[in-house]
Amino acid sequence: MSRFTTTNIHQQPPQCPASRRNVLIVGGGPAGLATALMLAKRGWTEITVLERRRAANDYEPDKSFNYLIDARGQQLTDLLGLTDLLSKIGVPASEFQITRIQPNGDRKTIKQSFNDPKPAYWLFRSAFLQLLYQEIEHHWAHQITVLFNRRCVAINKTIEDTVETLEVVVESENSSVPERFQPTLLIGCDGIQSIVRSTLNTWDHSGKFEVEQLPSPSSGLRYKALRLPPNFPLDAEAKNHAVSTQSYGIRGKFRERRRALSLGLLPIKDQDVPRPAMLINWADHQLWQLKTGEEVLNFLESAFPQLPLRQFIAPQEADRFAESEGGTFPIPQFCSGLHYLLPCPSKRHDQSMSGVLLLGDAAHCFPPDIGQGVNSALEDVYVLHQVLSEHEDDLARSLPVYEAERSPDVEGLVRLVQIAAPWQYNQAPLRTKLWFMGSVIRLGLSKLLPFISPPIAFSVRDPQYSYRDLWLGEQRTSRILSGMSWMGFIGLLGIVVLLLQH
């Protein structure tokens, strides 16, 4: 069960001693900006965030996907006082509703309610980043500095008066002279290729910063985003249009492995911006071999005869899509080590201890199968806030406790992602149908038999259940279902034997 409690967001932060100053956060994505805001609310000062993007509103086409911020992630937005703003720019997801459109034009809408503890919200990744950045600009600019167009290139340990300190070397395209920082607290929010984590792995020889990878059927899938109008026509006569606040799964007509394709669209609130349609499939799919926009349009026209694609996909967008590198779903992975403390002589009471911490994708990364990428990162930050509160922001006590409490959840989360819903992308239609049927059967059994847990999608959004508890429940249910299957098989075999005897 969760250890979390509600915190008064209007409470004044304590006065900042020397130990609560000089923080460097590598990575200005959701985890990095959220961490900066949390520390600022706690009274920390001199917080610097390094971000590779050129500006806060720098558009990244290959990252124009949606987030679903659920109750787990909203623990932190509640703390920061941002959930009301989140509800204004997001589409509530009190129930899952998707319209499937077949190649012949037939449509079917499926609805599934979730017993979420509070509404979750769909919104663009860019919109969420802007929400966090504007909160910094409007209320915390005196404590937080975000430096764009910066790249961390080295992290060193230096000696000052017999005491080890951190030195971080940073480069910028605008200057040939590297910047150097000496933070008290260095936080790695720099993603799957984290230089912070790789540096810790060279410093610490215990192996806890080695990444453990777990195979998954969805890892290695490639994706690209095709930008469509928010309310594009669903037929040649334009009698029906897509609704921007609804989800769509548009099936292609091809069945061959290297040609089969689906278009997936998630809800958006802003009807004045392009709507990304995600195309996800195997790395050797024919779509990824197309070099020009005209080739892309010809292929998509053949794959999706139910849509008048040339009516709403501009040649410039097709060209951009063809030139885009897209992205690849990572292998589910994590490291058990989340913190590192530099030794501090016990006699030096005037010297603050320096520490390093890993959050978000730098510590755990996986495909978006159960929608917990951003939510787990926000929960990382919330757990850190709770631990800092319990130990009066003392890094020497807080960071080891954070690792001890969070590391089991990190492993449980990644193991859940490995098996929960890897076939949902229709990359193998038969496996997708079997996975869907299995989920429906298990959901029905969970309603009849209380000792069987429902599919992970129905419980993972509730923060009262830790990821580790959910993983243990998943293992228990798998053993029960396996035993029931064997009992059923043996019983059926016995019936066959009796019939043969008679």
Q: Do both 456 and 371 map to the same domain? A: no
Please say whether the beta carbons of 401 and 95 come within 8 A: no
Q: Do both 207 and 226 map to the same domain? A: no
The per-residue pLDDT for range 385-420, each reduced to its tens digit, is 999 999 999 999 999 999 999 999 999 999 999 999
Last residue of a domain, one of 398, 419, 440: 419
Q: Do both 60 and 189 map to the same domain? A: yes
Range of the domain at 467: 429-501
Structural domain includes residue 340: yes
Output the pTM of the full model.
Answer: 0.91
Q: What is the CATH number of the domain that holds 204?
A: 3.50.50.60
Structural domain includes residue 11: no
Q: Specify the long-range contacts of residues 381-388, CB closer than 8 Å, at least 24 apart.
A: 381/31, 381/34, 381/35, 381/38, 381/76, 382/4, 382/38, 382/75, 382/76, 382/79, 383/4, 384/35, 384/38, 384/357, 384/359, 385/7, 385/38, 385/42, 385/76, 385/79, 386/3, 386/4, 386/5, 388/42
Structural domain includes residue 5: no
Terminal CA-to-CA distance of the chain, rounded, Å? 55
Q: How far apart are CA 69 and CA 210, in angstroms?
A: 29
Q: Please give the tally of structural domains in the chain.
A: 3
Q: Do both 336 and 315 map to the same domain? A: no
- Judge whether residue 164 has pLDDT over 60: yes
pLDDT recorded at residue 68: 95
Q: Do both 231 and 189 map to the same domain? A: no
Grade residue 352 by pLDDT with cuts at 50, 70 and 90: low
Structural domain includes residue 259: yes
The per-residue pLDDT for range 196-221, each reduced to its tens digit, is 999 999 999 999 999 999 999 999 99
- Judge whether residue 265 has pLDDT over 60: yes
Q: Do both 263 and 124 map to the same domain? A: no
Last residue of a domain, one of 272, 296, 328: 328
Q: Do both 308 and 345 map to the same domain? A: no
pLDDT recorded at residue 19: 58
Grade residue 316 by pLDDT with cuts at 50, 70 and 90: very high
More confident residue, 95 or 166: 166
Q: Give the three-class secondary structure for 173.
A: coil
Q: Do both 54 and 132 map to the same domain? A: yes
Q: Taking residues 234-250, report their average pLDDT.
A: 89
Structural domain includes residue 13: no
Structural domain includes residue 6: no
Structural domain includes residue 8: no
Grade residue 1 by pLDDT with cuts at 50, 70 and 90: very low
Q: Do both 234 and 287 map to the same domain? A: yes
The per-residue pLDDT for range 31-59, each reduced to its tens digit, is 999 999 999 999 999 999 999 998 888 87
Q: Do both 57 and 148 map to the same domain? A: yes
Q: Do both 165 and 51 map to the same domain? A: yes
Structural domain includes residue 3: no
